[in-house]
Structure 1
Amino acid sequence: MASKILKERYVIQKQLSKNAGRRTLLARDLHTQELVAIKLLIFGEDFHWDNLKLFEREAQTLQLLSHPAIPRYLDYFDVDTPTGKGFALVQSYIPAKSLEEWLKSGRTFSEAEIKQLAKALLEILRYLHGQQAQVIHRDIKPSNILLANRSGNSVGDVYLVDFGSVQTLAARKGSTITVVGTYGYMPPEQFGGRNVPASDIYSLGATLIYLATGRHPAELSQDNLQIHFESIVNLNPDLIDWLKWMTQPSLNRRLASAGEALKALKNPRQQTDISAIRQKPFGSRIELKEDGENLEILIPPKRLTFWSAFWIFIGTLFCLGLALWAFICIIDVILGNLEVSFIVVFSIFFVGSGFSLLWEAITLFSRDTKINIDCNQISVTHLWPGYKCQVTPIMNKNLNNNIMYIRHSLAISGQEKFYKTLGIYQLTPPEIEWLANEISAFSAGKITVVSADNKYVKIPTAK
Structure 2
Amino acid sequence: MVGLVNGRYQILKALNEGGFGKTFLAEDVQMPSRRFCVIKQLKPVLNNDRVQKIVLERFQREAAILERIGQGHPQIPDLFAYFEEEGQFNLVQEWIEGQTLTEIVTAQGSLNEAEVIKLLYQILNVLNYIHGHNIIHRDIKPDNIIVRNADQQPCLIDFGAVKEVMATQINAQGQPSRSIVIGTLGFMPREQAAGRPTFASDLYSLGLTAIYLLTGKFPDQFETDSATGRLQWKQDCEHLSTPFRSLLDQLVKPHPKHRFATVAAMRTALQSVAQASTVLSHPSAEDEVAPASSEPASTESGLSTARQPTSKIQKPKWQWIGLGVGGAAIASASLFFLFRPQWHYFWGQQAAQSGNWQSATENFEQALELKADYTEAALKLGETYAEIGKYPEAIAQFDTLLKQQPKTAAAFRERGEIRFATGGYQAAISDYNEALTLDPKDAETYNHRGDAQVELGKYEAAIADYRKAIRLQPNQAQGYLNLGSVFFVQGKLEAAVKELDKAIQAESNHLSAHVNRGSYRSVLGDPEGAEQDWEKALKLPVRTAKDYASRGYAKSRLDRKQDAIADYNQALTINPQLTRAHTNLGGVFYEQGEIEQARQSFDQALQINPNSTSAYLLRGELRAYQGQQADFEGALQDYDRAIAINPKDPFVLNNRCGALFSLNELQRALADCNKGLEINPSSAALYTVRGNIYLRLKQYEKAIQDYGRTIQINDTRKSEVRSQAAYSNRASARIQLKDLDGALQDLNDALRIKPDAAEDYYKRGLLYSVQNKRQDAITDLKKAADLYAKQGRTDDYNNVLSVLRSLGEG
1:217 shift after superposition:
1.3
Cα pair 1:21 1:46 within 8 Å, conserved: no
Q: Which residue of 1 aligns with 2:141?
A: 141
Q: Which residue of 1 aligns with 2:272?
A: 267
Q: Which residue of 1 aligns with 2:63?
A: 59
Gaps of 5+ in 1: 169-173, 272-463
Q: 1:227 to 1:58 in 2, by over 3 A?
A: farther
Distance 2:15 2:120 in 1: 27
Matches within 5 A, 1:96-107: 96-107=98-109
Q: Which residue of 2 aligns with 1:221?
A: 223
Distance 2:271 2:106 in 1: 30
1:268-327 deviations in Å (ceiling 9; x for gaps): 3999xxxxxxxxxxxxxxxxxxxxxxxxxxxxxxxxxxxxxxxxxxxxxxxxxxxxxxxx
Q: Does 1:37 align with 2:53?
A: no
Distance 2:47 2:142 in 1: 25
Q: Which residue of 2 aligns with 1:455?
A: none
Q: Does 1:258 align with 2:258?
A: no
Q: Does 1:239 align with 2:240?
A: no
Distance 2:109 2:274 in 1: 31
Gaps of 5+ in 2: 165-174, 277-810
Q: Which residue of 2 aligns with 1:18?
A: 17
1:61 shift after superposition:
2.3
Cα pair 2:163 2:182 within 8 Å, conserved: no
Give the secondary structure class of the aligned counterpart of 1:252.
Answer: helix
Q: 1:187 to 1:43 in 2, by over 3 A?
A: closer
Distance 1:150 1:78 in 2: 32
Distance 2:138 2:89 in 1: 22
The one-letter code matched in structure 2 to 1:60 is A
Distance 2:55 2:117 in 1: 36
Q: Which residue of 2 aligns with 1:130?
A: 132
1:150 shift after superposition:
8.5
1:55 shift after superposition:
5.2
Give the secondary structure class of the aligned counterpart of 1:31.
Answer: coil
Aligned-pair identity in percent equals 35
Distance 2:6 2:150 in 1: 36
1:381-400 deviations in Å (ceiling 9; x for gaps): xxxxxxxxxxxxxxxxxxxx
Q: 1:56 to 1:247 in 2, by over 3 A?
A: farther
Cα pair 2:14 2:24 within 8 Å, conserved: yes
Q: Which residue of 2 aligns with 1:164?
A: 160
Q: 1:86 to 1:256 in 2, by over 3 A?
A: same
1:245 shift after superposition:
0.7
1:157 shift after superposition:
1.5
Q: 1:40 to 1:146 in 2, by over 3 A?
A: same
1:149 shift after superposition:
3.1
Matches within 5 A, 1:49-88: 52=55, 58-65=62-69, 66-80=72-86, 85-88=87-90
Q: Which residue of 2 aligns with 1:230?
A: 234
Cα pair 1:100 1:142 within 8 Å, conserved: yes
Cα pair 1:42 1:86 within 8 Å, conserved: yes
Distance 2:198 2:223 in 1: 25
**What is the aligned length?**
257
The one-letter code matched in structure 1 to 2:141 is K
Q: 1:202 to 1:56 in 2, by over 3 A?
A: farther
Deviates more, 1:27-36 or 1:185-194: 27-36
Q: 1:43 to 1:267 in 2, by over 3 A?
A: closer
Cα pair 1:73 1:91 within 8 Å, conserved: yes
Match of 2:213 among 201, 208, 211: 211
Cα pair 2:109 2:216 within 8 Å, conserved: no
Give the secondary structure class of the aligned counterpart of 1:103.
Answer: helix
1:226 shift after superposition:
2.6
Cα pair 2:20 2:163 within 8 Å, conserved: no
Give the root-mean-square deviation of aligned CA atoms.
3.3
Q: 1:180 to 1:20 in 2, by over 3 A?
A: closer
Distance 1:218 1:236 in 2: 24
Higher relative contact order (CA 8 A, sep 6+): 1
Distance 2:224 2:150 in 1: 34
1:30 shift after superposition:
2.2
Matches within 5 A, 1:178-197: 178-197=180-199
More strand per residue? 1
Give the secondary structure class of the aligned counterpart of 1:23.
Answer: strand
1:43 shift after superposition:
6.3
Cα pair 2:138 2:201 within 8 Å, conserved: yes
Q: Which residue of 2 aligns with 1:95?
A: 97
Cα pair 2:189 2:204 within 8 Å, conserved: yes
1:20-71 deviations in Å (ceiling 9; x for gaps): 3511111111232211111112468999959957855642320221211111
